[in-house]
Each structure stands twice: as structure tokens, then as C-alpha cells.
Structure 1
Amino acid sequence: MAKKIAVLGAGSWGTVLANLLTENGHQVTLWGRNAEHVAEINQHHTNRHYLPKFKLEPTLIATLSLEQALDQVDVILFVIPTNAIRKMAQQILPIIKRQGIRPMLIHASKGLELGTHKRLSQVLTEEIPAEFRREIVVLSGPSHAENVSEHDLTSITAACSNLTAAQQVQQLFMNDYFRVYTNADVIGVEMGAALKNVIALGAGALHGLGYGDNAKAALMTRGLAEISRLGVAFGANPLTFIGLSGVGDLIVTCTSVNSRNWRAGNQLGQGKPLQQVLDEMGMVVEGVSTTRAAYELAQQQGIEMPITNTIYHVLYDEKEIRTAITEIMQREGKQELD
């Protein structure tokens, strides 16, 4: 059955997901902040700033108005930067109260909130009480917007403690090129989604420094160990981290030029200062803020995360990258499974 859906965020991923849902027969309104981009989507069915070659479904509507986007919707999909989620939820609550609707909430953002270190489903739970919404479902996995726009075969995860709700989201998105699995482990899916961006910065930096496949494989493998260690400490199922939102998302983010975290790390490895990299990127690099959140969480919990610590010191203490790599390689020997 067709649903009325608001997609919040007209960046690359939000645009592609809105278009996919439109292809699937749903009535979709895409909300964005940029008037030129919104006008272009409505008039030319393109969003060239983010997806230069992508042609959108002509029935997809874009708007600058949250009121219009949320009008009598069944589902709200958040595809905005991590640190904008709380403010957006606060703006949405009075609108859905006025409209008397109780929509399902889905988020496809990947990060931890700065300061609180909270997962995004926790933020939404705090800001939109249960009486004004249905379940909160997390959508995550190895999925670059550019590839999905080309109908590349993609598999991701819909996570919710209520598997019936996860299955409903599964049905919204599934088609012949986009496959969705369900998972009840919200903690593991959100932690994997957020923390893989930290490791992707390191993978990009290794490439920028000229290191080869051995180094990248070691970083990804030991990075996955760190992600699992921290996630399990907060109650995640360790098996989640060998699934799509764990190792799957880690692989695609650490190996593709489509990953803005990888691209940012690559430029850092080539010697560019962090602020210049962020200014030139023109889009949010979630791994930078997530590195701080993960570092602080690990310190609080007493969790050993040497790769995350190293990336933190490079980003925030301006530690020289090659020196940092030498130090981490010369640490005391460990058992692999510790």
C-alpha cells in the first residue's frame, strides 16, 4: 500500500532515498533548506550540486516548508547531519501535534551526538514522545548514494526492537535493486554506522600517505575490533558487527572514493590541514565529530581503542600522521582476540 512520506534532507542520500521511494509508488515530499536546490528539483528534476548525472522522478516534490512536507504523512525519514537531528525533532513536534498525526520515524543518518554521545534513535526518543509517533526505525548499511542512483545492487538493514515495524520499513524500500534486511539490534546497527566513519578517515589517510593494501586491510580489521568492543560495551549483539551495518558498511566506506570520510582522510594524508579539507569538501564529514564522541566514550568506559585514539590526536591535537602511525605500530604486543 502506498504511503505518504516526508524525507528531511535534500543532500545526496536524502535525494536518492526520496527518489527510490517515489519509484516504489509512494507519495514523497523532499524537504530541503536551499531554495535553489528545491526549485531545481521541482523544475528540472535534478539536484546537480550533489548528483550531477542523476535524473529524478517527475512526481517527486521538493519544498522549503516543513509544514508542507509533514502534511498528514505516514512516515518521516530523517537524512540530515547528526548534530542537526535534535533541533529538527524539536521543530517537528509542534507541527505533528497540530496536524494530529502519529507518523513512523526512520533515520538514515550515521553518527553520535556531540556532547551527549547519544545514538540518534535516543535523541529522537527524547524529543518526540511516544504518544506523537509510532516506532523509530534505523536504516543503515553499505550504500553510497551515487551507486544507488545508478541502481547498483544494494543491501542494507532496517533496525528496530519491534521487528514488525522493521518489516514495514523493509517493505517501503525493497525493490529489484535495493534489498533490506531486518534486525532487532538498534544499538549495534547505530554504533556500527557511526564508528565506521572514524576508521574510514584512517583508511583515506593511509592511501594519501602512499601505504598499500596490507596496511588498509590491517586498519579495517583492527578497526572492526574496536567498533565491536565499544558497541558490545553498550549492549550491542556482537554478531551485528559482522553484518551489513558492521563489516559491510566498513568495507564500502573505507575503500570508495564516493565516501566523503575516505576523501577527507586521503587529503589529510596528503598534508592538507583539517579545516582546509572540511572547507573544500562542502559537505558534512561525520567521521570528524564522531571521532571526538567515540574517543570520549572510550575514555569514560575504559575501552581500549588505539586506532580511534590515534585518529583523534591527529584531528584535534594536530599530531603528525607518520609519527602517530609509528607509535601505534610499536605498541606492546597483544593477543589478537583480546
Structure 2
Amino acid sequence: MNISVLGCGRWGTFIAWYINKVGHQVMLWGRENSRNYHSLKENRKNDYLSLPDTIELNNSLETAVSFADTIIISISAQELRSFAKQLHALSGIQGKTVILCMKGIEANSGKRLTQVFSEEVGKHVNVAIWVGPGHVQDFVNDIPNCMVISSENIEVTKEIVNAFNSDLIRFYYGQDLIGNEIGAATKNVMGIAAGMLDGLHYSSLKGSLMARGTREISRLVRAMGGNDITIYGLSHLGDYEATLFSDHSHNRKFGQAYAQGEKFEKLAEGVSTVKALKELSVKYDVELPISSALYEILFEEKDAKETLVNLFLRPVKFEF
């Protein structure tokens, strides 16, 4: 199978490496003026791995799209709409399978990424998502994990899983696209909250965060028409270890730095997702206490310690 990976950041470069490792022909695309692309072009490596010579690097979007049977996109979630418009202008995209490998919700609309992509590219593309726990730093050291492929067409889901499965990544069939998309995006929000608790030296409250966070997001998924049980699977709860506790998690590290009054320079997708959840909370009339508390801290400059303590230690109520 010929596969193009669009986006050569940490995750996109790993995906190209992995897909090549399991036996497919791979082209890795990056923007000509990007630092990541220049580094890979010069050295064939980044901070995490070295690219084998069998992976072709290219900065022509048209060439990358025409090369592939299946296209994998790994860019910032908030850039997806504008990027999809670029792809729509290329006739070669129609009829292909596109897999979105980012975790987020469009901040200003609250729309899921498959909705955003389909709105811009049209219905003649099979769209799937690749989500779940895992860090590049672990995978390249042969530490395995389990992940999820999900789409609205189970045959497309099965085809991708069969093509990508290995002893390093065991893929499961995702049966609920809404739940898996919302779950994957919102685990980053819980990661920011966990990081703030770490930064405030309240790490023992992360157990409460896990218990209440899953309940909160499961209510939202049910209101949106998904299966609330999905939140307890790999896309959300199953990704908590890699997001709420790992030193590799950008979202956890962002939250910790924020609570300690420090800057964190790398992308934390959960910040934009906090904005999106504000929209979804109103649209679906669902109370999201943890997400709302983070919104107050990040965008209304409320004190992190006071807000989080009040959240977790508020007046006694029934647990369920």
C-alpha cells in the first residue's frame, strides 16, 4: 500500500517511520519552510528517531496526495480547516481514505475534526481517526501500546486495522466515532488539569480528577449522540496514563508550568479544546465543571489554586 503522511512534526514523523516498519511504501510531506522539514531533509532524523532511506521526503502537497492510496494527516487540530481547503483544491484527494491523527475540537465552532474535514473536502473521501495512548519516546524503544481506529464505515476501519496492526501497536476497532473523537480531544483537557494539580503539589487529587473527568465527558458524549461507555475505552480513560502522569505529555507539562507561573513553549492542544468545550457545554446544555474551571483559569485569569480547590472540595453531594 502507498501511504502519504502529511505533517512532519514529532507524531507525523513517527507515523511515517512506523508505517514503513510494518511494510508499506511511505512518502512524508512537510512544508518547505518548516524547521522540522529542513532538519529531516538535512539529517534524516529528529530528536526521537532516524528515518530509513526507504521513506521519501517531499514538500509538494500535490505529489504527496497523488502518490498515496491512503493519506494520514498529522498537524495542529486548529489548522485542519485551512489545510483541508488546500487539499480540496487537489482533484487527487477524492475517493481516497484519509486518517486524521490529531486530537482536538475546532475551538470557535465546537465541531469534531471529521466534521471539519468533511465540510471542506466533501463526502467522497473515507475519513477515519487514529487515537489512543502512546508516546513516540516509548514506541521507538519497542515499548508496545494499544490504540484505536474509528470511522463511520466499519469496513474502512477493519481495512486500516488489518494494514497497520503489529506487535508494537495493537489496534482495536472503534465503534463510536463521536465518542472516540470527543474522548481523544478531551483527555488533553484532563491532562492540563492534572498538570496544574502537579504544579500546585496536589497530585493526590488526580484520582478524583480521573473519576470525575470521565463522568463529565461521558455526559457530554451521550448528549451529542455518542455512546457514553466509549469514554471508558482507549480513546479517553485508556489514554490517561500517557496524559495525566507521563513526563512526555505536553498537556500535563503545560498545566504544571502554568500553575507554577512558568512558560511552556510546545503545542498543548488541550488549551484550544477548553475553548471548544465552552461552546459544547452551552449547545448541549451539559454541565462540565472541570472544563469550566480550566476555562476560568486560562481565559478569565482566575487563580488556579483557589479555583481547583473549590472545584474538588465543593459542598458535599452524592457521588452518583
Scaled by the length of structure 2, the TM-score of the pair is 0.95
Matched residues in 2 for 1:86 and 1:212: separation?
Answer: 37
| Partner residue, 1:32 | 30
Q: Which moved more, 1:167-176 or 1:112-121?
A: 167-176
Shift of 1:320: 0.8
Determine if contact 1:114/1:290 at 8 Å carries over to the other structure: yes
Shift of 1:39: 4.2
Which of these residues, 212, 230, 237, is aligned with residue 247 of structure 1?
237
Alignment partner of 1:245: what SS? coil
User: Is 1:314 aligned with 2:304?
Assistant: no
Q: C-alpha deviations, 1:124-178, integer Å up to 9, x for none?
A: 11111223x2x21111001122222222111100011211100111122211211
Alignment partner of 2:89: what SS? helix
Matched residues in 1 for 2:297 and 2:122: separation?
Answer: 39
Q: C-alpha deviations, 1:261-302, integer Å up to 9, x for none?
A: 000001012123xxx33xxx2x32111010011122113322
| Partner residue, 1:41 | 40
Identity among equivalent positions (%) equals: 34
Over the residues paired in the alignment, what is the CA RMSD in angstroms? 1.6
Which of these residues, 58, 68, 81, is aligned with residue 63 of structure 2?
68
Q: Which moved more, 1:55-64 or 1:263-272?
A: 55-64
| Partner residue, 1:14 | 12
Q: Which moved more, 1:252-261 or 1:31-40?
A: 31-40
| Partner residue, 1:86 | 81
Determine if contact 1:35/1:64 at 8 Å carries over to the other structure: no
Determine if contact 2:129/2:149 at 8 Å carries over to the other structure: yes
Change (3 A) 1:37 1:304: closer
Shift of 1:325: 2.1
Determine if contact 1:73/1:101 at 8 Å carries over to the other structure: no
Which of these residues, 259, 262, 268, is aligned with residue 269 of structure 1?
259
Residue identity opposite 1:163 in structure 2? I
Matched residues in 1 for 2:161 and 2:278: separation?
Answer: 33
Residue ranges of structure 1 left out of the alignment (5+ in a row) = none
Matched residues in 2 for 1:143 and 1:87: separation?
Answer: 27
Matched residues in 2 for 1:330 and 1:217: separation?
Answer: 13
Alignment partner of 2:105: what SS? coil
Shift of 1:313: 0.5
Change (3 A) 1:311 1:68: same
User: Is 1:258 aligned with 2:257?
Assistant: no
Residue identity opposite 1:189 in structure 2? N
Instruction: Count residues in correspondence.
Output: 319
Runs of 4+ in 1 over 4 A off after TM superposition: none
Determine if contact 2:87/2:93 at 8 Å carries over to the other structure: no
| Partner residue, 1:128 | 121
Shift of 1:220: 1.6
Matched residues in 2 for 1:190 and 1:8: separation?
Answer: 20
